Amino acid sequence: MKTVIFTDKAPKAIGPYSQAIEINGMLFVSGQIPIDPATSKIVDGGIKEQTEQVMKNIGAILAEAGYSFADVVKSTCLLSDMDNFAAMNEVYGKYYPESSPARAAYGVVKLPLGALIEIETIAGR
């Protein structure tokens, strides 16, 4: 059975998608950009601040569905500039101190609302 996950502790969807979908013990978290859910705006700062906000948003969605970062099995990171990879990786790594998930990272031409980063996540039990 498919369950739509929503929390007001993460940004509302800015298009026709859900924050996350859970089905058969798997949670598929839509790509999160660095929007502060309290202001509905991209956070100030550079890649480190934006990555931190993205990870907070993912964490809020995981928690709403009863998951944690320890349950994450795959992430896809989209960066508007691959020169930001090392700084993004430094922040991202704090959330996965052990058993890091599988991951792909891509440089893209442009992200929604001028974000520097977007991360989608899959978790499983």
CATH number reported for the structural domain that contains residue 19 in this entry: 3.30.1330.40
Look up the domain containing 93 and give its range: 3-124
Mean pLDDT, all residues of the chain: 97
Token pair listed for 58: 């993912």
How many domains is the chain partitioned into structurally? 1
Q: What is the mean pLDDT of residues 38-62?
A: 97
Token pair listed for 44: 């100030």
- What's the confidence (pLDDT) of residue 70? 97
Task: Tell me the per-residue pLDDT of 26-41, one tens digit each, with 9 for 90 and over.
Answer: 999 999 999 999 999 9
- What's the confidence (pLDDT) of residue 15? 87
Query: Percent of the chain beyond pLDDT 90?
Result: 94
Q: How confident is the model at residue 52 (pLDDT cuts 50, 70, 90)?
A: very high
Round to whole Å and give the CA distance between 110 and 113: 9
pTM: 0.97
